[in-house]
Chains A and B, each alone.
Chain A
Amino acid sequence: MIKLISLLCLSLFATAVCAQEMAPDVMIKKITNEVIGIVKQDKDIKAGDRAKINALVDAKVLPHFNFDRMTALAMGRNWRKADAEQKKVLVREFRTLLVNTYSGALAAYKNEVIEFMPLHAAAGATDVTVRTQVKRPGAESIGIDYSMEKTPDGWKVYDVAVAGVSLVTNYRDTFNSEINRSGVDGLIKVLERKNRSLDSQAGGKSK
């Protein structure tokens, strides 16, 4: 019996280690294929059912993102101006904004083929870019690049660049000027207001 339990522990441990050690490009491929597989079959998601999309994103995508790092990068040097409590709120609000606005794009998926580029990284690299290409008939393909870093919990995405446009960089200007105008609390207010207005829009639409 003890043998069995120790075997079980070992196998559990092994899977945990596996999850951690999964190479970043393999991980992106696995997640992408999984999510697309679900989107393809789910009519509600294709019709834009936000609750279902959010559930899918929550379960499959978000665990692999590092929103602390994303927020810190979008804040740039201003990150130091925020105290611990402000940081927590900023991360929460930024995360809500990104998830609510970008996960809706899943509904627009129309059988585009996604190609995974070979990973160019040194053996011991802890910071890599995983490149993918979305092939669209009749239009140039769009690159989606994931910047990833190695953490104790496995590889985490800290930035996504679509067609060369980095999500994090795109917010940096706005964050910077907002903080210059009205401080960290001002930025928090702007983010909260934005999220509330998106919420009420979504609510209005579903009714």
Chain B
Amino acid sequence: MRRVMGLVLLCALGGLAGGCATVGGNPNDPLEGYNRAMFSFNDSVDKAFVKPVAKGYKKVMPEFARTGVTNFFSNLGDVWIGINDILQGKIGPGVSDFGRFAINTTVGIVGLFDVASKAGLQKHNEDFGQTLGRWGVGSGPYVVLPLLGPSDVRDGFSLLAVDWHGDPLWYVNNIPTRNELVATRFVDQRANLLDASRLMEEAALDPYAYVRSAYLQHRRSLVYDGNPPPPKPDPGPDSKSGPSGAPTAQAGPALAPAPRNTPQGGATVAAVRQQSYEPIVPRNYAAVIEHSGGVSENLQGARR
């Protein structure tokens, strides 16, 4: 399996190199050419195999059984989530995640029932990509991974190089059993996303751009646990257009999207590059963290 992972990584890196030539309009997506190709490849694999299987799975399995499957895999994930919480200095949530695992594994019968949620221990969403983000590592350009879908350089690296070490399924010794478990989890996760993907198909004018924007925003929000600092302001609409025209409280210089119609001079590209990879730790970081629940000391410590 390591070899497969390596291969996937290689593909992604090859794509990186190949895609470098194309500079699209979005400063966060210099690899747009490669990414779009991989996106449509993934999409056709999904349409041909994964989605039909997920639909069948949803049809055949009664809802309580599917919930059990989701809970089972979700429970296995809680340990790694807890470790990442601790790595980010979020001791309380980390302890809560270990508590979830302990309760659900025992009282919840190997995780089939999520008793811990009912007891008030909320599920969290953490992974190593978020930990790196919290530590101040920028996301880097957007990358669509083969089969695994939307990602960026930081999160893709974390997923392929680190996160799977924290995934209990990869430690199952019996290879066929392990593969079955991984496949089941994959199908279960896809089945849970059927509604969301239908909404996406309906709402998006350009599914690629829609997913890219959603992914980048969502990951940014996760790194800040739902309280990201305001994004860089878009060169806004004419202030006369909105009834209020009130400037939203946003800091930082306006980032002009790369000019598309003009040929990209080397200097322009360099300027865009420089601007596009914003430092993930903004000036008001401490205030944001404080706002989100008083763990600033821990984090300040961690940053030093």
B268 CB, nearest partner CB in chain A, Å: 16
Q: Which residues 137-160 of A have a CB within 8 angstroms of B?
A: 137-141, 143, 147, 149-152, 158
Known pairs A165-B214, A173-B213; A101 contacts B123 (CB<8 A): no
- CA–CA, A140 and B234, complex, Å: 30
A-side contacts of B236, CB under 8 Å? 73, 76-77
Which of B124, B220, B226, B261 has a CB less than 8 Å from the CB of A143?
Answer: B226
Q: Are B123 and A164 in contact (CB under 8 A)?
A: no
A-side contacts of B199, CB under 8 Å? 101-102, 104-105
Q: Are A164 and B221 in contact (CB under 8 A)?
A: yes
B-side contacts of A152, CB under 8 Å? 243
- CA–CA, A191 and B246, complex, Å: 28
Q: Are A127 and B249 in contact (CB under 8 A)?
A: yes
B-side contacts of A161, CB under 8 Å? 217, 221
A45 CB, nearest partner CB in chain B, Å: 16
**B interface residues, Cβ below 8 angstroms from A:** 25-26, 67, 70-71, 74, 114, 117-118, 122-125, 195, 199, 202-206, 209-210, 212-214, 217-218, 220-222, 226, 228, 231, 234-238, 241-244, 246, 248-249, 257, 260-261, 291
Is chain B's binding surface mostly helix, strand, loop or mixed? loop
B57 CB, nearest partner CB in chain A, Å: 18
**A interface residues, Cβ below 8 angstroms from B:** 66, 68-69, 72-73, 75-77, 79-80, 87, 97-98, 100-102, 104-105, 108, 120, 126-127, 135, 137-141, 143, 147, 149-152, 158, 161, 163-166, 169-174, 176-178, 180, 190-191, 194, 198
Q: Which chain A residue shows the least CB distance to B210? A: A170
- CA–CA, A150 and B244, complex, Å: 7
User: Number of contacts between A and B (CB, 8 Å)?
Assistant: 138
A-side contacts of B70, CB under 8 Å? 138
Which of B122, B195, B241, B248 has a CB less than 8 Å from the CB of A68?
Answer: B241
Which of A72, A164, A166 has a CB less than 8 Å from the CB of B242?
Answer: A72
Q: Which chain A residue shows the least CB distance to B213? A: A170
B29 CB, nearest partner CB in chain A, Å: 9
Q: Which chain A residue shows the least CB distance to B122? A: A141
Q: Which chain B residue shows the least CB distance to A77? A: B235
